[in-house]
Amino acid sequence: MTTRLTVPTARPYDVVIGHGVHEQLRGLVGFGMGVMRVAIIHAPTMAAQAARLREPLVSDHLEVHLIEVPDSEQAKTTDVLAFCWKVLGRAGFTRSDVIVGLGGGATTDLAGFVAASWLRGVRFVNVPTTVLGMVDAAVGGKTGINTDEGKNLVGAFHEPVGVLCDLDVLADLPARELRSGMAEVVKCGFIADPSILDLVEAAPAAIADPTSHIVAELITKGISVKARTVAGDLRETGSDGSIGREALNYGHTFGHAVERFEHYRVRHGEAISIGMVFVAEVAHRAGMIDRDLLDRHRSILELVGLPTTYRPGIWEALATTMRLDKKTRGDQLRFVVLESLAQPVILAGPDESLLLDAYRAVAS
């Protein structure tokens, strides 16, 4: 089966989920719409897949450039960004040409920002190849790169014209990468769709099999949450008075600090798993959630095989990094927390001692 979910923003686009959906790339590129050139930005592990995507486009007499970039977060640097710009410039890319991001979340983040910044914005298509990429990075129009000071501090909102989530690629996904992606799926369960949590608890063994129908269902549910959330608040302004898109950052303030401290040697999902336990501890200590919901964070994340504890003795370093988080306002730290299951809110300026106690609980 193929599932098609529409992201109903001002410029709606579809996320197609199923087996063999990479074949739909030709239609999304827009053959016959003045396109002459396509750049496929991909990680080294996706070189063979990039070559396969190239073939039908070349058959349409398009000029296709394969741009190989480093794997994971090493791709999201100003040097790599400048390299991509140089390739586009030398190839003569115009506003009618198209960028394709093929790979995990880091690759699609980079490809989206290349598209957003080249000629002030050209069309792009995301072809995510990991669970994390499908559920989180490829949908929603957030693009960006990292700096020495923090993760995703430079970027732009630039929506793709379509997203192709081909489940066939998951068969070869390393177990650690599958677990990491499931952190973002579980996050969607805590902030919006508890049926995700029920499904994880009911079939934990199936989650380890990337070809299982359970994994496909979880991915679809996670993308549905992301599509609904970004449609209501694309640019994360919360202008209607609700938490809006910021809800998707559940666990990310602390998680990004962990990633930065570890120089991205931990997977994004592993760090976000720890971050979710941290904010659950914060919410529990602030009297917002009960012990059962706090404990459910640990039990579900451990069922998936994700970490729920972190190293002690580095609170000051993590706190310094968190003060550069995108949700921070002035010198006030702000965290996405739950006041009950599927009821996320912003907790602004919590007492430092409360945060330290939550960290100690995670680091114990």
Fold topology of 175-363: Dehydroquinate synthase-like, alpha domain (1.20.1090)
> Is 181 part of any known ligand binding site?
no
**pLDDT of res. 150:** 84
**Residue 240 has what pLDDT?**
61
Q: How many residues does the chain have?
A: 364
Assess whether pLDDT exceeds 90 at residue 293: yes
For residue 1, give the amino acid letter: M
213 is an annotated ligand-binding site residue: no
Q: What is the pLDDT of residue 328?
A: 65
Q: Is 221 annotated as a binding residue?
A: no
Please state the rounded mean pLDDT for residues 135-141.
90
Measure the CA–CA gap between 18 and 136, rounded to whole angstroms: 17
pLDDT of residue 233: 79
pLDDT confidence band for 1 (50 / 70 / 90): confident
Nearest to 259 by CA among 322, 301, 181, 174: 322
Give residue-wise pLDDT tens across range 55-79.
Answer: 999 998 999 999 999 999 999 999 9
108 assigned binding-site residue: yes
Intrachain domains 3-172 and 175-363 with the same fold: no
Is 53 in a helix, a strand, or coil?
A: helix
Whole-structure pTM value: 0.92
In angstroms, rounded to a whole number, what is the distance separating the alpha carbons of residues 193 and 135?
14
Q: Tell whether 255 is in a known binding site.
A: no
Following DSSP, what letter does each residue of 285-334 receive, concatenated?
Answer: HTTSS-HHHHHHHHHHHHHHT------SS-HHHHHHHHTTSTT-BTTB-E
Q: Residue 31 above 70 pLDDT?
A: no
pLDDT over 90 (residue 6): yes
Per-residue pLDDT, 329: 65
Instruction: Tell whether residue 3 is among the known ligand binding residues.
Output: no
**Domain definitions of the chain by residue range:** 3-172, 175-363
Stretch 309-338: mean pLDDT: 87
Residue 229, annotated as binding a ligand: no
Q: 142: annotated binding-site residue?
A: yes
Tokens of 82: 């400048």
Fold for the domain defined by 3-172: Rossmann fold (3.40.50)
| Residue 29 zone, left/alpha/beta (φ > 0; ψ -120 to 50; rest) | alpha
268 labeled binding residue:
yes
| 76 annotated as belonging to a binding site for a ligand | no
pLDDT band of residue 104 (cuts 50, 70, 90) is: very high
